[in-house]
């Protein structure tokens, strides 16, 4: 806990420095770059790549959350109960697909660019959120649910004021999994010409420039770490 | 008036409630008593339709509940669930105010009612209002659960073992508070317990259940005097019967002219308390605070087995 208090601000500063002032890292990265080759990626600003990377992840995760929670609510109501076993099977199979495969399948359908990446992130992001939301909504304390009925809450009032708030920590765990996967998967989006931090890594791989690979990799890694950490804190606060 | 008409509930092979019929008069306390698993909770939960009967009907003031919208029916009926069932993510105040909020009471009125109920159950409003159920003791949680059932002053209240987690002293006081509130508001209360003592103390009528069946439904005095079966007798506990009988009668019933020495007893006290005072202080008669006296012989005569 104490180490987190020091480490967290340090990592935030490190991330900002790497994105906003990449030249500061020239001395560190120079040994990794090919001789006379560029040390710092300059074809596009790292800041704008980071923003576009985060934008893709945010858009995909937000829509995945809305759709997945909506579906989870549906299959846990009496009218949707018939779909529960099927939807769980589909989710379990879906999660065994590697994200790259989802991306590869999206390209033929949607062409190159941000579109297929967004779709792949969205589809893949649905699974853990749906899975957790269903679990959260189905494992509420029975006595509490009974009391909610007993005092006269209507079905929709029960959902809004009791079920969703109580399931929220579990749902958020799913969102966190999904966001972290999306942050990593988005880098692969650059292979189909989406503007993400993957661009830096791929440029490095193509030109044998380890400095680029490290730069792109570390920024993505730090983003994932800090966002993950933030969401864990949020979950803790909500379930306390 | 609540009419329970040949109510039956089956869960697969088990018949939890087996063709029970009884009528609960408006403004009375009816206590359902029985051993664990005898179907008390299930019978009660069919009244507010938390369980749908397999067959039979419940009518409240002549109106069959089966045709009402379940959540609207439940809003009219206070319900204290077995094991409190408080909302863990809401404060004590929000839990207690849940039903008034559903009914659209103004905020200030809800806050006032919450404080009133907390005070009634000996929980200082300032100390408890903003706490979460998880920070309360089992007995405190249970009292909040009962307060929630009372909050909107419903005409009908269902209470499933509301005092189970309370220690004897608080339990006794909570029972008295409930009886007083009930008399003041004239509400109709159906209360479940497996404690015959509580049933006799609180009930205008006592319903004894055994394996899903209603084996006796009568006034407490009648149940003590004429238990309908061996099961009811066992529930009463044979050796306690004379004492239970005495606990239903008051000193005022036996006052005679004359004097006695020592500390006086109140005319409202039960004969059981009077007997206790006689035995404890070694006296044959007690002065009554309101005048006159009560003798040990007279008390003893009341405790004898009825012919
Ligand atoms: N939802 C349910 N599904 C299956 N069986 C049930 C259900 N609810 C109750 N039962 C069964 O019905 C019978 C009566 O249960 P009920 O809860 O009404 O008993 P009770 O008298 O309230 O007992 P206790 O004093 O332990 O609370 C028991 O055998 C119980 O196992
Ligand atoms: Mg019960």
Ligand 1 near B41 CB (within 6 A): yes
* Identity of the residue in B50, B88, B102 whose CB atom sits nearest the CB atom of A150: B50
* Among B217, B237, B257, residue at a domain's last position: B237
Q: Are A184 and A224 in contact (CB under 8 A)?
A: yes
Range with lowest mean pLDDT among A52-61, B120-129, B218-227, B239-248: B239-248
Q: Is the pLDDT assigned to residue A221 strictly greater than 90?
A: yes
pLDDT band at A2 (very low <50, low <70, confident <90, very high): low
To test the ligand 1 pocket, which listed residue (B8, B13, B34, B38) has its Cβ within 8 A of the most ligand atoms? B38
B181/B260 same-domain check: no
User: What integer pLDDT is reported at residue B306 of this predicted model?
Assistant: 65
Between CA B178 and CA B150 the distance in angstroms is: 10
B16 lines ligand 1 (CB under 6 A): yes
Residues B207 and B256 in one domain: no
Query: At which of B237, B261, B280 does a domain end?
Result: B237
A26's tokens: 């020239």
Report how far residue A100's alpha carbon sits from residue B200's, in angstroms, rounded to the nearest whole number.
72
Distance between CA B95 and CA B102 in Å, rounded? 12
Predicted pLDDT of residue B174: 85
Classify the C-alpha dihedral A60-A61-A64-A65 as positive or negative.
Answer: negative
B272 touches chain A (CB under 8 A): no
ipTM of the complex: 0.80
| Whether the CB of B175 sits within 6 Å of ligand 1 | no
Range(s) of the domain holding residue B294: 244-303
Domain count of the fold of chain B: 2
Binned at pLDDT 50, 70 and 90, residue B173 comes out as confident
Say if residue B158 is in the same domain as residue B207. Answer: yes
Interatomic CA distance for residues B169 and B171, integer angstroms:
5
Asked if residue B31 and residue B180 are part of one domain, the reply reads yes
Q: What is the pLDDT of residue A1?
A: 54
If pLDDT is split at 50, 70 and 90, which confidence band does A115 have? confident
Q: Tell which of B221, B237, B253 closes a domain.
A: B237
Do B231 and B262 lie in a common domain?
no
Q: Is A208 helix (H, G, I), strand (E, B) or coil?
A: coil
- Note whether B79 contacts A: Cβ–Cβ < 8 A: yes
Kindly give the distance from the C-alpha atom of residue B9 to the centroid of ligand 1, in angstroms, as a whole number. Answer: 10
Rounded Cα distance between A179 and A114, Å, is: 17
**Beta strands B205-210; B188-193: pairing state:** unpaired
Domains assigned to chain A = 45-239 (1.10.3720.10)
Q: Closest partner residue to B75 among A143, A148, A152, by Cβ?
A: A152
> Do residues B249 and B169 share a domain?
no
Instruction: Give the chain B residue whose CA is nearest to the CA of A240.
Output: B89
Q: Tell me the HSE value of A191 on the side-chain side, using a 13 A CA sphere.
A: 12
Residue identifier of the C-alpha nearest atom 14 of ligand 1: B39
* Whether residue B266 sits in one domain with residue B141: no
Task: Tell me, yes or no, whether B154 and B39 share the same domain.
Answer: yes
Claim to verify: residue B189 and residue B293 sit in the same structural domain: no
**Residue B193 near ligand 1, beta carbon < 6 Å:** no
Position B225 confidence tier, pLDDT thresholds 50, 70, 90: confident
Q: In this structure, are B137 and B201 located in the same domain?
A: yes
Q: Coil, strand or helix: which one is B281?
A: helix
């Amino acid at each position: 806990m104490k180490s987190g208090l020091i480490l967290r601000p340090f990592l935030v500063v490190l991330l900002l420095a790497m994105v906003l002032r990449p030249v500061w890292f020239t001395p560190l990265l120079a040994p990794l770059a090919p001789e006379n080759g560029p040390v710092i990626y300059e074809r596009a600003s790292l800041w704008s790549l980071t923003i576009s990377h985060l934008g893709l992840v945010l858009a995909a995760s937000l829509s995945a959350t809305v759709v997945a929670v909506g579906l989870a609510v549906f299959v846990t109501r009496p009218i949707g109960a018939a779909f529960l076993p099927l939807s769980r099977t589909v989710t379990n199979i879906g999660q065994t697909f590697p994200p790259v495969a989802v991306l590869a399948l999206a390209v033929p359908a949607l062409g190159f660019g941000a579109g297929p990446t967004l779709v792949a992130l969205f589809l893949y992001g649905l699974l853990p959120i749906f899975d957790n939301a269903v679990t959260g909504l189905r494992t509420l304390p029975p006595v509490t649910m009974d009391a909610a009925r007993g005092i006269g809450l209507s079905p929709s009032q029960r959902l809004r004021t009791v079920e969703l708030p109580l399931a929220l920590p579990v749902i958020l765990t799913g969102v966190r999994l999904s966001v972290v996967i999306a942050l990593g998967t988005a880098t692969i989006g650059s292979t189909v010409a989406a503007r993400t931090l993957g661009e830096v890594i791929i440029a490095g791989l193509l030109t044998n420039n380890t400095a680029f690979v490290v730069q792109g990799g570390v920024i993505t890694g730090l983003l994932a770490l800090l966002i993950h950490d933030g969401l864990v804190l949020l979950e803790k606060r909500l379930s306390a | 008036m609540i009419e329970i008409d040949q109510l039956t509930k089956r869960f697969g092979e088990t018949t939890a409630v087996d063709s029970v019929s009884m009528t609960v008069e408006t403004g009375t306390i009816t206590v359902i008593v029985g051993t664990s698993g005898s179907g008390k909770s299930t019978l009660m939960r069919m009244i507010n339709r938390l369980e749908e009967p397999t067959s039979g009907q419940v009518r409240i003031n002549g109106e069959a509940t089966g045709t009402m919208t379940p959540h609207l029916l439940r809003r009219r009926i206070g319900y204290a669930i077995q094991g409190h069932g408080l909302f863990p993510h809401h404060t004590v105040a929000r839990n207690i105010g849940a039903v008034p909020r559903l009914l659209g009471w103004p905020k200030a009125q809800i806050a006032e009612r919450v404080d009133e109920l907390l005070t009634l159950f000996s929980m200082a409003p300032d100390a408890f209002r903003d706490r979460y159920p998880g920070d309360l003791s089992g007995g405190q949680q249970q009292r909040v659960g009962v307060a929630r059932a009372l909050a909107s002053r419903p005409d009908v209240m269902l209470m499933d073992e509301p005092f189970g987690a309370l220690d004897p002293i608080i339990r006794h006081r909570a029972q008295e508070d409930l009886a007083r509130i009930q008399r003041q508001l004239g509400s109709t209360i159906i209360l479940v317990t497996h404690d015959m003592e509580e049933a006799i103390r609180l009930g205008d009528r006592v319903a004894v259940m055994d394996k899903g069946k209603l084996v006796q439904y009568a006034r407490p005095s009648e149940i003590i005097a004429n238990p309908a079966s061996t099961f009811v007798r066992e529930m009463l506990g044979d050796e306690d019967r004379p004492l239970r009988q005495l606990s239903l009668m008051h000193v005022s019933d036996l006052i005679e002219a004359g004097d006695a020495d020592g500390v006086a007893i109140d005319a409202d006290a039960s004969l059981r308390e009077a007997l206790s005072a006689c035995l404890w202080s070694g006296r044959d008669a007690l002065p009554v605070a309101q005048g006159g006296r009560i003798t040990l012989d007279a008390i003893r005569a009341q405790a004898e087995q009825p012919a």
